[in-house]
Amino acid sequence: MKACHLAVVFPAKGLPRNTVQACGALWTQTSRMLLPGLGRFYDRFHPAAQPWGVDIETPFSVVLGRDDPCLFLRLYFRAREFRKESVDFHVGGTLIETGPEKLRAEGDILICPVKLDGTNKRLEAHIFWHAAMAQGVILPDCGVYYAERKRSAADVNFEKSVESAPADYALSMVTMERMEDSHGI
């Protein structure tokens, strides 16, 4: 099994004041979001008791920013760091498979034309990852997912608003597991 952690960011507005009830409500929402990918992108998921080596002792591994802003920020920054590492891995993998000489600039956009004919499974897996991320699919190695925006990436201003007001947000920490080599990479 290969396991990855994911931090799902939810707005805290409208959550019950009772911590246990709020955590239960967010885990329910998290589970509903993850069910469509079960069996396709991951083989199982569960609350992450120790994501990236950080102990979580709250119900369903949900961290409410209002209750523990330090833990919230520690996990949020680690999730974003993991997302960056995943992006770097998939960009690097794409470039290795295609060759950086194929890159060309069109304005401020880099384009790398590739031929997906079924002969290079590693390249197809990296390209699939990029396309899925662009469409808002929740993947095991996306690191952070903004439930409200239905995306793993957010603009810098939104990320800063989460950082500066952790009490307004909550994290549902998830461990997603998949069988080795069962999904392409």
Q: What is the pLDDT of residues 4-63, one digit of tens each?
A: 999 999 999 999 999 999 999 999 999 999 999 999 999 999 999 999 999 999 999 999
pLDDT of residue 174: 98
* pLDDT, mean of residues 83-110: 85
Contact assessment for residue 69 and residue 180, using Cβ atoms and an 8 Å cutoff = no
Whole-angstrom CA distances from 183 to 37, 83, 122, 148, 152 are 12, 19, 11, 27, 19
Q: Tell me the residue ranges of DSSP E strands in 48-168.
A: 62-64, 104-106, 109-111, 144-146
Q: Which two tokens stand for residue 80?
A: 């974003």
Residue 135 DSSP class: T
185, pLDDT greater than 50: no
pLDDT of residue 104: 82
φ, ψ of residue 118 to 5 degrees: the values are 90, 0
pLDDT of residue 4: 94
pLDDT of residue 102: 79
Q: What is the pLDDT of residues 123-177, one digit of tens each?
A: 888 888 888 888 889 998 999 999 999 999 889 999 999 999 999 999 999 999 9
184, pLDDT greater than 50: no
Q: Which residues contact 94 (CB under 8 A, 6 or more apart)?
A: 112, 114, 123, 126, 127, 130
pLDDT of residue 181: 55
Q: Which residues contact 73 (CB under 8 A, 6 or more apart)?
A: 163, 166
182, pLDDT greater than 60: no
Between CA 124 and CA 135, with CA 129 as vertex, the angle to 5 degrees is 125
Q: What is the pLDDT of residues 146-155, one digit of tens each?
A: 999 999 988 9
Q: Where are the domains positioned within the chain?
A: 2-83+139-178
pLDDT of residue 1: 59
Residue whose structure tokens are 């549902």: 172
pLDDT of residue 115: 80
Gyration radius of the chain over CA positions: 18
